[in-house]
Chain A
Amino acid sequence: MDLLYMVLFAVVVLLGLLGGVTYAILFERKVIGWMQIRNGPNRHGPWGLFQTIADVLKLLMKEDIIPAAADRKIFVLAPILAFAPSFTVFAVLSWSDTLYAADLNIGVLYFLGVSSMTMLGVLMGGWSSNNKYSLLGSIRGVAQMVSYEIPLVLSVLGVVILSGTMNLRGIVQYQDDIGMWFIIPQFLGFVIYLISAIAELNRSPFDLPEAESELVSGYHTEYSGFRYAFFMLAEYTYAIAISAFATTLFLGGWLGPAFLPGIVWFILKMCIFMFIWFWLRATLPRARVDHLMQFGWKVLIPLALLNIVITAVIKVWMGW
């Protein structure tokens, strides 16, 4: 019975996620469109609501090309390996007070551990394509993701210290108890998280692995059709996961005035978080690789460490 429930839940989450990704893409395109004095997608369905569906259908119908010189097995495996971990992390996310899959004690650790596997897909995809641009893109991507994993984890530590638990539900409940979202005592941590999450996700201004003006399309240059769709799916699933994680850690999860159910609050907060990313993409130019690395190692990590020290002092002093 338990197994059936698990499978059922997984399927529901997957379907919900597919819908979520569909509309996240639409949301992104609309936001960026409006910021660029244009309309964004509006041809398919009212308000362009079916645009992404049409795009996905087109991708599925396309010819599946595997370059002759590619390392076939790894080439095929890479998109799956990119997608699987970004989907797996949804197991520990709690959408509302009652809606969740696993109430894991080490939810934070699980999330960070599993999600960092995504970079394997990037590396394998870039390597196996046997294309110089793909290789450059994937090497840049891995370097960037490894570097920014560290400030990401360190910024989360502050929350863990304050709440004293690694259970994601526990963290939200703790925020409920003290009557304050962690964004206030952990503002520095939130900013560091926000920045390193962008780098983790390879989003603009840190979209170096797929910098289309330099590396054509980075690690997925040679991918087409549904394999490419998988990479896109992985990217947006991971984006949703990271923003859901941020909502849980810093923005009080499903907490909010009672006139709306918890899940609505949760999704609203996620949307705000994602809006910031889209806004960044519409505004900023791309950073350069060495600046990106310098910023990560020389600015973000010291700041994150500082944040941990401050948090520890607050913890002891305030007696939370």
Chain B
Amino acid sequence: MSIKTETMTLNMGPQHPSTHGVFRLLVEVDGETITKAEPVMGYLHRGSEKLAENFLYTQFIPYTDRLDYLNAMTNNYVYCAAIEKLLEWEIPERADYLRVIVMELNRIASHLVWWGTYLLDIGALSPFLYAFRDRDICLDLLNEISGARMTFNYIRIGGVKWDAPEGWVDKVKEKVKELRENIAEYDTLVTGNEIFQARTIGVGKLTKEQVINWGISGPLARASGVNIDIRKEEPYSIYDRFDFNIPTREEGDVFARYKVRIAEMYESLKIIEQACEQIDEGEIIHKKGARIMMIKPPAGEAYTRAEASKGEIGVYAVSNGKNKPYRIKLRRPSFVNVSILQDLLIGENIQNLVAIFGSLDIVLGEVDA
């Protein structure tokens, strides 16, 4: 004789502390085992791609800020790079250096937010505040150069908006040292902690095949042994001039993702240091780029991709020769990465749900565009 049992549907979100935004996850649990997971999204959909069709090319840059608002510089960059590809413009060297410095600073800031909020999900309170202190170091630097703390709108088609203020580069060098010390402290506080390791090692495993098949990119992929980093694969901007490693791990579990992100912060610091050493005086924007209302790429289409903190961010731009884009498609890493939840959560224990979900590092502004 068997007892009739029912599965329970647990509705996680749209208002839930661990979804980091308005995101809904419908999970069906059989006892404590998840049998079905269905992400429901679109609560933050603003129609960015539709908006782009009615904007001048430059007008859309502030909207890219609002996709992945934790890593706005790379969004700015990849959009501008796509248009520059259509225009076939050469970018002044100094602008490229400034772009690399701000993008890497922003990557650190983004990873720090992940680190802090992930530990908050796991239940540790203090790392969150330590991470935000260090993120503030990055944001203050970015504020000085771009005039905003999150929605930078700094990178322009053909260069950057402003040159670095006096003494900024030296200040960055100084702060890099400070950041390096602070991040080392995180290891003492968290990485070795047995409770933390028990919750993360062996949890939420992603295989190499899964990663490639589901189109997962960024630290998530690299934690599963897929060594793809667009900065190395197709060095965009001037990334081929720097000496840095791509941290990869084979395990594919949550702890591996944690380690990869921590290691990536160190690599970013290395890149910033080298860029600060190499940077030279010079122009900061292409001579036609300054006239921001007059940008008119020739008809054509191009896909451009870059390595954002969440993974591969891409822009598919179609121009018909007018001053407004015909079509802008944004390949948002979080949107693709979040789809793995349907597969990854099946068979997991419900107590691992938050630990796995948090490790994906999604930003809802980016998922919903």
Contacts and interface: CB of A to CB of B under 8 A. Distances in A.
Contact of A205 (B10, B18, B195): B195
B17 A212 contact: yes
A288 B195 CA distance: 8
Contact of A32 (B8, B17, B125): B125
Interface string A27-51: 0000010011110000000000000
B101 to A, nearest CB: 27
Contacts of B10: 132
A284 B193 CA distance: 8
Given A213-B18, A213-B120, A287 B126 contact: no
A291 B203 CA distance: 13
Contact of A213 (B8, B123, B190, B196): B123
A105 interface: no
B351 A288 contact: yes
B123 A37 contact: no
A216 interface: yes
B190 to A, nearest CB: 8
B130 A285 contact: no
A285 B351 contact: no
Contacts of A132: 8, 10-11
A200 interface: no
B353 A284 contact: no
Contacts of B119: 285
Interface string A275-290: 0000001111111111
Contacts of A207: 123
A54 to B, nearest CB: 22
A282 B126 contact: yes
A287 B129 contact: no
Given A214-B354, A288-B199, A283 B124 contact: yes
Given A36-B129, A214-B353, A291-B198, A285 B17 contact: no
Interface centre among B133, B351, B353 (most CB of A within 10 A): B351
Interface string A190-228: 000000000000001101000111101000000000000
Contacts of A282: 125-126
Contacts of A204: 123, 125
B84 interface: no
5 contacts: A36-B130, A132-B11, A285-B193, A287-B195, A288-B352
Interface of A: 32, 35-38, 132, 204-205, 207, 211-214, 216, 281-291
Interface of B: 8, 10-11, 16-18, 119-126, 129-130, 133, 189-190, 193, 195-196, 198-199, 349, 351-354
